[in-house]
């Protein structure tokens, strides 16, 4: 029997039943599709799967999905145990496959999957696939920033490299449960480092190499790593970035603040910078190439519990302090493997490319773990997508015969602006599935991606998920049902999305509200590192009994889910999550800034951009130089990707009598919707609104 509360998906005439009828009544359209033509029907925008594609897909139709979905909800223990049994467990998990409490009114929030099971995710990615006969299969194709510079590793070779580093880490005192910070660009050494940590049970925390020294320091202070792994410099497009300088400054600051990291393993990335010119601290710094290759290529696995921590990844929230999202081993392993296989209809012959950086969750789950668990061939690209020109992605697709291409809407929109010629000059015949992640994809970008990049042949998996969820939550299964441009469609197996109103009442049928999830899924994060209370208040207190995502969402008459963006103080710039409070604290660190308020506004390519209202300290004049140095303060305190697009001078900020900034009004002023300011009578001083409007273009 299915959990009766999931019935919102099935009970109403608006949902599955209707959905099936539509597919049947759309048979005439399917005929056209068989002729090689994708049909989008005008009123409901349905885009039907290609018949041949559907026939070969893991989930070939909606009926099969429904059967599997119902089972995953009705018998999660059985469903996920079956998925888990494809992997190697030194010892099987205990009687209880999972236990959970999501309801803070009933005690501490607690989620566990495969507790008592003993396994290792690195073993399952590498050794297991080698035993299955894939030792000589390419695990990673690496494409450098400069065209023509490339490399590759088979599964055998990858295991050797990982083992050497794992042995080095062990020799230097890194033990099970210790944390390791990895601050590397997209070199093969990045996934190698992650896997080496996992092999010995160490907890990795990858910090995106675009973060500033201050951000890196903050993370070092929080998780107190035994060692930091980095490289001397990186090349992105024509720019060289001196990474080691950033690390040096983070390490010296953090040691003054009480966390002294004694070892900095530095990969010499000679194509970007020679060793000789790299600044060096003899007692602390070690060149990777001098020590790691000397170690044995065999390294015993540290067997860990299904609930032992795998990694920490810091993400932005609505306060200034980043949150250390903690994922554990067993559930994350099964969930990333299963979502990768089904949402991309992965087959062993695929060549898979995800453009995300391993510094974000997408790179963890869908550059490294998900694909490697499936024994896939993964492409890792070092550079920027439009270097040396906007055709680079398709050049790479043709070079490696990429079959699955997974990227972000911001890249799609920017390539769309560069013109179709950059796409159509390449064959792209190898492509069969496209994917999108990071923010809602607007229907026009979806159609361009579908029609121009995919030649109207390739289904698009618009995957909605989060750092916290570990893997896909709402996503198309290519081939299984018709798509609607801009909709992430339906929930993945085991996921029970609910849409609630402000009072936490579950809405049924066609509706819009806040997106929550009922019941746990294996890939869910288990806590915020060192702050379980913040975990509970941020995610489980707004709507007791549910996990609250922070996103708004609507469900249409056919049951399709449409994500509408964040409803909290988080801005999504080019798919990167940035907290307004983080940017505000970076601005007020500037000696001439008295107060700052930051909002997100729509941006044609980036999706959203950062718009900052700044009140300078008494007596300081407004000037363009001051604007520049304020922006610089954000770049140095967070990273270049968080730089405000616009600084708007504010003699005062619109505040309520209790001193709360009314961001709603600031958002309207920032997007120049001046006739939609709404009620401003509750402001302590309504005059500030006119002052702000007067300063809009100065
Ligand atoms: C995977 C990732 C999570 C936030 C999330 C939402 C937005 C991600 C989306 C999407 C609409 C999609 N988001 N994918 N919105 N459609 N397909 O991006 O994780 O960096 O934690 O960001 O991104 O707002 O809440 P993360």
Q: Which atom of ligand 1 is nearest to the CA of 575?
A: 18
Pocket test for ligand 1, best of 370, 464, 488 (most atoms within 8 A of CB): 464
Q: Give the residue-averaged pLDDT of 418-430.
A: 97
Q: Give the residue-averaged pLDDT of 60-81.
A: 97
Ligand 1 shell residues, CB under 6 Å: 315, 360-362, 436-440, 462-467, 488, 549-551, 563, 565-566, 572, 575, 577
Pick 540 or 24 by higher pLDDT. Answer: 540
Alpha helices in 549-670 (DSSP H): 580-588, 624-637, 663-670
Residue 229 sits at the vertex; the CA angle it makes with 225 and 233, to the nearest 5 degrees, is 140
At 168-219, the pLDDT tens digits run 999 999 999 999 999 999 999 999 999 999 999 999 999 999 999 999 999 9
- Token look-up 């993400």 returns 315
Atom 3 in ligand 1: residue holding the nearest Cα: 466
Nearest-angstrom CA–CA distance, 201 and 218: 23
Atom 5 in ligand 1: residue holding the nearest Cα: 466
Pocket test for ligand 1, best of 572, 574, 576, 582 (most atoms within 8 A of CB): 572
Residue 258 burial class via C-beta count within 10 angstroms: exposed 0-12, middle 13-18, buried 19 and up: exposed
At 217-249, the pLDDT tens digits run 999 999 999 999 999 999 999 999 999 999 999
pTM: 0.90
Catalytic-labelled residue, pool 44, 245, 398, 568: 568
Find residue 111's DSSP bridge partners. Answer: 100
pLDDT of 44: 57
List, as one string, the DSSP characters of 429-459.
TT--EEEE-SSPPPHHHHHHIIIIISTTTS-
Q: Which atom of ligand 1 is nearest to the CA of 441?
A: 16
At 247-262, the pLDDT tens digits run 999 999 999 999 999 9
At 350-393, the pLDDT tens digits run 999 999 999 999 999 999 999 999 999 999 999 999 999 999 99
- Beta strand residue intervals within 496-645, DSSP E: 496-500, 511-518, 527-528, 546-555, 561-566, 570-573, 576-579, 593-603, 607-616
Q: Is the pLDDT at 24 greater than 80, yes or no?
A: no
pLDDT band, residue 656 (cuts 50/70/90): confident
Nearest-angstrom CA–CA distance, 584 and 586: 5
Q: What is the mean pLDDT of the chain?
A: 92
Atom 26 in ligand 1: residue holding the nearest Cα: 466
Q: Are 191 and 165 in contact (CB under 8 A)?
A: no
Q: Which atom of ligand 1 is nearest to the CA of 570?
A: 24
At 546-603, the pLDDT tens digits run 999 999 999 999 999 999 999 988 999 999 999 998 999 899 999 999 999 999 999 9
CA of 604 to the centre of ligand 1 (A): 18
- Interface confidence (ipTM) of the complex: 1.00
φ and ψ of 28, to 5 deg? -60, -35
CA of 190 to the centre of ligand 1 (A): 23
Q: Are 334 and 83 in contact (CB under 8 A)?
A: yes
pLDDT of 45: 82
Q: Give the residue-averaged pLDDT of 327-339.
A: 98
- Highest mean pLDDT among 469-483, 645-659, 679-693 belongs to 469-483
Q: Give the residue-averaged pLDDT of 316-344.
A: 93
Nearest-angstrom CA–CA distance, 104 and 108: 6
Find residue 698's DSSP bridge partners. Answer: none
**Is 568 in the active site?**
yes
Q: Give the residue-averaged pLDDT of 136-154.
A: 97
- The CA distances from residue 449 to 409, 486, 548, in Å, are 9, 11, 31
Q: Is the pLDDT at 8 greater than 90, yes or no?
A: no
At 90-112, the pLDDT tens digits run 999 999 999 999 999 999 999 99
CA 344 to chain centre: 16
CA of 362 to the centre of ligand 1 (A): 10
Q: Give the residue-averaged pLDDT of 537-544.
A: 96
Atom 6 in ligand 1: residue holding the nearest Cα: 439
Q: Is the pLDDT at 138 greater than 70, yes or no?
A: yes
Atom 18 in ligand 1: residue holding the nearest Cα: 438
The encoded tokens of residue 59 equal: 């989930």
Nearest-angstrom CA–CA distance, 584 and 671: 19
Q: Which atom of ligand 1 is nearest to the CA of 315?
A: 21
Pocket test for ligand 1, best of 354, 435, 465 (most atoms within 8 A of CB): 465
Task: Find the radius of gyration of the CA atoms of the chain.
Answer: 25
CA 514 to chain centre: 20
CA of 259 to the centre of ligand 1 (A): 33
- The CA distances from residue 461 to 22, 309, 396, 441, in Å, are 20, 29, 20, 11
Q: Are 519 and 531 in contact (CB under 8 A)?
A: no
pLDDT of 680: 86
pLDDT of 518: 96
Atom 12 in ligand 1: residue holding the nearest Cα: 464
CA 574 to chain centre: 12
pLDDT of 322: 87
State the greatest distance between any 2 C-alpha atoms of the chain, in Å, as a whole number.
73
Q: Are 401 and 351 in contact (CB under 8 A)?
A: yes
Smallest CA-to-CA distance from 354 within 332, 372, 342 is with 372
């Amino acid at each position: 029997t299915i959990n009766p509360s999931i019935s919102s998906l099935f009970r109403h005439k608006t949902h599955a039943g209707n959905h099936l009828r539509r597919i049947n009544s759309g048979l005439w359209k399917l005929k056209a599709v068989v002729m090689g033509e994708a049909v989008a029907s005008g009123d409901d925008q349905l885009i039907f799967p290609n018949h041949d594609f559907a026939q070969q897909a893991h989930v070939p139709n909606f009926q099969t999905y429904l059967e599997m979905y119902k089972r995953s909800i009705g018998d999660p223990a059985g469903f996920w145990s079956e998925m888990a049994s494809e992997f190697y467990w030194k010892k099987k998990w205990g009687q209880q496959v999972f236990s959970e409490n999501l309801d803070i009114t009933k005690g501490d929030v607690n989620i566990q999957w495969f507790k008592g099971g003993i396994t290792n995710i690195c073993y399952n990615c590498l050794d297991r696939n080698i035993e299955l006969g894939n030792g000589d299969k390419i695990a990673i194709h690496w494409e450098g920033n400069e065209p023509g510079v490339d490399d590759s590793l088979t599964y055998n070779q990858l295991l050797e490299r990982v083992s050497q580093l794992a042995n080095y880490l062990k020799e230097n005192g890194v033990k099970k449960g210790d944390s390791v910070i990895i601050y590397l660009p997209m070199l093969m050494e990045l996934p190698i480092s992650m896997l080496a940590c996992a092999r010995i049970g160490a907890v990795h925390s990858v910090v995106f190499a675009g973060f500033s020294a201050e951000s890196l320091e903050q993370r070092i202070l929080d998780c107190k790593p035994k060692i930091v792994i980095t490289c001397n410099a990186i090349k992105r497009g024509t720019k060289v970035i001196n990474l080691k300088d950033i690390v040096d400054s983070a390490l010296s600051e953090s040691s003054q603040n009480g966390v002294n990291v004694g070892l900095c393993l530095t990969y010499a990335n000679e194509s970007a910078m020679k060793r000789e010119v790299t600044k060096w601290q003899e007692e602390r710094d070690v060149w990777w190439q001098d020590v790691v290759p000397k170690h044995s290529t065999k390294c015993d696995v540290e067997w860990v519990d299904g609930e032992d921590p795998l990694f920490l990844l810091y993400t932005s929230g609505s306060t200034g302090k980043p949150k250390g999202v903690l994922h554990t081993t067993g559930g994350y392993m099964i969930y990333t493997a299963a979502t990768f296989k089904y949402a991309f209809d992965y087959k062993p012959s695929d060549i898979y490319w995800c453009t995300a950086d391993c510094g974000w969750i997408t790179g963890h789950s869908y550059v490294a773990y998900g694909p490697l668990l499936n024994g896939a061939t993964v492409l890792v690209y070092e550079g920027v997508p439009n270097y040396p020109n906007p055709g680079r992605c398709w050049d790479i697709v043709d070079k490696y015969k990429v079959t699955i291409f997974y990227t972000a809407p911001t890249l799609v929109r920017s390539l769309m602006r560069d013109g179709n010629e950059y796409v159509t000059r390449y064959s792209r015949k190898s492509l069969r599935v496209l994917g999108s992640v990071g923010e809602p994809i607007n229907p026009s970008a979806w159609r361009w991606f579908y029609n121009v990049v995919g030649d109207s042949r390739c289904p698009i998996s618009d995957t909605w998920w989060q750092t916290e969820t570990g893997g896909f939550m709402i996503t198309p299964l290519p081939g299984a049902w018709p798509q609607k441009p801009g909709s992430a469609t339906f929930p993945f197996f085991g996921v029970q999305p609910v849409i609630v109103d402000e009072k936490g009442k579950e809405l049924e049928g066609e509706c819009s509200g806040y997106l929550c999830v009922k019941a746990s899924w294996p890939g869910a994060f288990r806590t915020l590192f060192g702050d379980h209370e913040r975990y509970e208040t941020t995610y489980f207190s707004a709507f007791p009994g549910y996990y609250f995502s922070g996103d708004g969402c609507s469900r249409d008459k056919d049951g399709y889910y449409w994500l509408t963006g964040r409803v909290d103080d988080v801005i999504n710039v080019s798919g990167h999550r940035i907290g307004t409070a983080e940017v505000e604290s970076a601005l007020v660190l500037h000696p001439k800034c008295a107060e700052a308020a930051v909002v997100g506004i729509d941006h044609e390519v980036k999706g959203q951009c950062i718009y900052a209202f700044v009140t300078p300290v008494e007596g300081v004049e407004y000037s363009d130089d001051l604007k520049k140095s304020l922006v610089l303060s954000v770049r140095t305190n967070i990273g270049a990707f968080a730089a405000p697009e616009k600084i708007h001078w504010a003699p005062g900020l619109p505040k309520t009598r209790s001193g709360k900034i009314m961001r709603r009004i600031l958002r309207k002023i920032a997007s120049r919707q001046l006739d939609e300011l709404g009620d401003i009578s509750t402001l302590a001083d309504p005059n500030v609104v006119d002052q702000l409007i007067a300063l809009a273009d100065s």
